[in-house]
């Protein structure tokens, strides 16, 4: 599914009578948000779940609307941010600099985030109703300037000619020729809506009045005429977005490390291993896509996992796992495991390492790195995941999945998956496996191991992950990624990636794919 959105925020004038009648003395700010949403290049009609967030300049969230079901008609939608039932927007929040609006649709982020800047509501000019009063007469589309600060203006008796200005004759303003020695320039008053009457004063009135201001006694009068009636009071609690843009959730590509292989997310950054001789893991800011740093690990870095504070990397050539601080990449230690470690996961208490060369898995203390046990599984295990209670291991050449008790390593069941299962993920109820030579993914009930279904994807799927709604599979042989409905297994779309897509992960807003040959990461 692809989205393209255009978003505009408009704000109102505090002087609009209709608004004043409905607002308390110190109203909480609301932001009118309008946008255009496309899926697969077609305008959306239907209801979608939106989440709007205001971020500060560092990307930290200051306010969130929570999930909002919004009706979209022919691609267009409109909503007032901060209005009930959403949380109120604190008035002080909008005084902060460098604010951004971040929008998520059905769990998918629109990019880029966009700036919020103060502005008036253009709509208010069309909401004036009734006759004008005071110095201005007529209606909205037929205004006439009748007075300057309450003093009558007479242009009907004697029409002004070129070079004349307005002179005060003691009773009213009339056209006349400026005479006398030029005096000091009078200050020019600010032009409010009376500037719109510049059409009247356009006879050179306003400009000529300025000249009159330079002529002795007429100077102050000219300045007064320029001031006109006061304009509307600005409501600085209203903000508007003055920029329309095309937002896309597809094909955001950033340079990756050399031959990116597997990746994981630590809550702010991506950690990417390189299937090459680099012996390194690369840290990438998930918001900007910029590389934060590259840090040394062991030989043949493969699987990577996050334990809440540290990054763990399985070093397939060294038969070790590396532990690094997620905060700065500092190496904490390297610890021996089995032969050919190629996958790794954290179950909430322990680090588990898959040893493809010795057909077993190793349980590691995340605090000390000590091995707590090594347990046999199937033939050539290549992937592991936790369902919160048990471990699941993909036995590649055996085409089976093993369910393991994490307390003692006992195998609780062996289940048939697809042909050559290569990666695993858990969706909260089911375990999914990507079947490399079955060109499919399989869905099993985690509690029983029952096979729910097997669903076709692209050629040679090697990676699988869950984004909260969809299952994503990387298709190594066809250079694509496939999106499936997690509830039904129905295909939602297949999208091009770079060459040889391999590992993938979800960062809470976007799915990231590592393209080994293209040396890039692509965000969906």
Q: How far is CA 342 from the centre of its chain?
A: 33
pLDDT in tens, 99-120: 999 999 988 888 788 887 655 4
Whether 131 has a pLDDT exceeding 70, the answer reads no
Provide the whole-model pTM. Answer: 0.56
- Strand, coil or helix: 520: strand
User: Which pair of structure tokens corresponds to residue 215?
Assistant: 């002529």
With H, G, I as helix, E, B as strand and everything else as coil, classify residue 495. strand
With contact defined as beta carbons under 8 Å apart, do 381 and 372 qualify? no
User: Is residue 249 pLDDT above 80, yes or no?
Assistant: no
Domains of the chain: 3-120+235-248 (2.60.40), 131-227 (no CATH), 252-523 (2.130.10.10)
**Cα–Cα distance measured from residue 123 to residue 482, given in angstroms and rounded to the nearest whole number:** 44
Q: Which helix (H) or strand (E) holds 18?
A: helix 17-22
Q: Give the pLDDT confidence score for residue 119 in this predicted structure.
A: 52
pLDDT at residue 189, as a whole number: 54
Mean pLDDT confidence for 313-328: 96
Distance CA 115, CA 55 (A): 9
Going by their DSSP bridges, the two strands 421-426 and 430-435 should be labelled as antiparallel
Instruction: Report the pLDDT value the prediction gives residue 417, as an integer from 0 to 100.
Output: 76
- Strand ranges for 228-370 from DSSP E: 247-248, 252-255, 260-265, 269-274, 280-285, 291-296, 301-306, 310-315, 320-325, 331-336, 341-346, 351-355, 360-364
158 CB-contact burial (10 Å; exposed 0-12 / middle 13-18 / buried 19+): exposed
What percent of the chain clears pLDDT 90, i.e. is strictly above it?
55
**How many C-beta atoms surround the C-beta of residue 451 within 10 A?**
15
Residues 6+ apart with CB under 8 A from 108: 1, 3, 249, 509, 510, 524
pLDDT band for position 342 (50/70/90)? very high
Residue 174: its pLDDT value, please?
Answer: 87
Rounded Cα gap, residues 420 and 51, in angstroms: 39
Question: 460-506 pLDDT, tens per residue?
Answer: 999 999 999 999 999 999 999 999 999 999 999 999 998 999 999 99
- C-alpha atoms less than 13 angstroms from C-alpha of 363 in its C-beta half-sphere: 19
Reported for 369-375, long-range contacts at CB under 8 A and 24+ positions apart, including other chains, are 369/321, 369/323, 369/332, 369/333, 369/335, 370/335, 371/335, 371/336, 371/337, 373/408, 373/409, 374/337, 374/338, 374/409, 375/404, 375/409, 375/410
Average pLDDT of the segment spanning 244-248: 37
Q: What percent of the chain has pLDDT over 70?
A: 77
Residue 288 has pLDDT above 50, yes or no: yes
**Cβ distance 434 to 461 under 8 Å?**
yes
The Cα 130–Cα 142 span in angstroms is: 12
Chain position carrying tokens 């091009």: 496
Taking the C-alpha atoms of residue 325 and residue 311, their distance in angstroms, rounded to an integer, is 6
């Amino acid at each position: 599914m692809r989205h393209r959105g255009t978003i505009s925020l408009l704000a109102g004038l505090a002087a609009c009578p209709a608004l004043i009648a409905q607002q308390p003395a110190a109203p909480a700010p609301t932001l009118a948000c309008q946008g255009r949403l496309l899926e697969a290049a077609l305008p959306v009609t239907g209801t979608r779940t939106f989440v709007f967030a205001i971020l500060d300049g560092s990307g930290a969230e200051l306010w969130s609307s929570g999930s909002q079901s919004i009706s979209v008609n022919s691609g267009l939608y409109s909503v007032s941010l901060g209005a009930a039932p959403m949380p109120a927007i604190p008035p002080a929040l909008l005084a902060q600099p460098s604010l951004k609006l971040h929008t998520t649709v059905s769990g998918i982020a629109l990019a880029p985030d966009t700036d919020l800047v103060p502005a008036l509501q253009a709509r208010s000019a069309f909401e004036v109703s009734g006759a004008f009063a005071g110095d201005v007469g007529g209606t909205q589309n037929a205004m006439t300037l009748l007075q300057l600060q309450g003093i009558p203006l007479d242009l009907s008796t004697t029409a002004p000619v070129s070079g004349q200005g307005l002179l005060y004759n003691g009773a009213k303003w009339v056209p006349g020729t400026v005479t006398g020695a030029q005096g000091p320039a009078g200050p020019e008053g600010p032009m409010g809506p009376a500037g719109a009457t510049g059409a009247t004063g356009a006879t050179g009135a306003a400009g000529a009045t300025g000249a009159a201001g330079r002529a002795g006694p007429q100077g102050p009068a000219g300045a007064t005429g320029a001031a006109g009636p006061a304009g509307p009071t600005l409501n600085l609690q209203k903000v508007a977005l003055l920029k329309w843009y095309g937002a896309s959730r597809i094909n955001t590509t950033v340079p990756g490390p050399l031959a990116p292989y597997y990746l994981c997310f630590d809550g702010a950054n991506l950690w990417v291993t390189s299937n090459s001789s680099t012996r390194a893991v690369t840290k990438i800011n998930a918001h900007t896509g910029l590389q934060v740093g590259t840090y040394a690990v062991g030989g043949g870095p493969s699987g990577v996992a996050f334990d809440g504070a540290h990054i763990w990397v399985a070093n397939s050539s060294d038969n070790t796992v590396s532990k690094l601080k997620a905060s700065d990449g500092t190496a904490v230690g390297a610890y021996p495991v089995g032969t050919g470690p190629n996958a790794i996961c954290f179950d909430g208490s322990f680090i588990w390492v898959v040893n493809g060369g010795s057909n077993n898995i190793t349980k590691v203390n995340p605090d000390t790195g000590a091995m707590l046990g090594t347990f046999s599984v199937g033939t050539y295990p290549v992937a592991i995941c936790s369902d919160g209670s048990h471990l699941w291991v993909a036995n590649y050449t055996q085409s089976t999945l093993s369910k393991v008790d994490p307390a003692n390593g006992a195998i609780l069941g062996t289940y048939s998956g697809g042909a050559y299962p290569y990666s695993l993920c858990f969706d909260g109820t089911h375990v999914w496996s990507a079947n490399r030579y079955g060109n499919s993914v399989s869905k099993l009930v985690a509690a029983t191991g029952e096979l729910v279904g097997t669903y076709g994807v692209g050629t040679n799927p090697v990676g699988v992950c869950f984004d909260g709604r969809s299952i994503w599979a990387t298709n190594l042989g066809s250079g694509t990624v496939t999106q499936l409905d997690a509830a039904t297994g129905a295909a939602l779309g297949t999208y091009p990636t770079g060459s040889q897509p391999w590992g993938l992960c979800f960062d809470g807003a976007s799915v990231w794919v590592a393209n080994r040959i293209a040396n890039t990461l692509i965000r969906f």
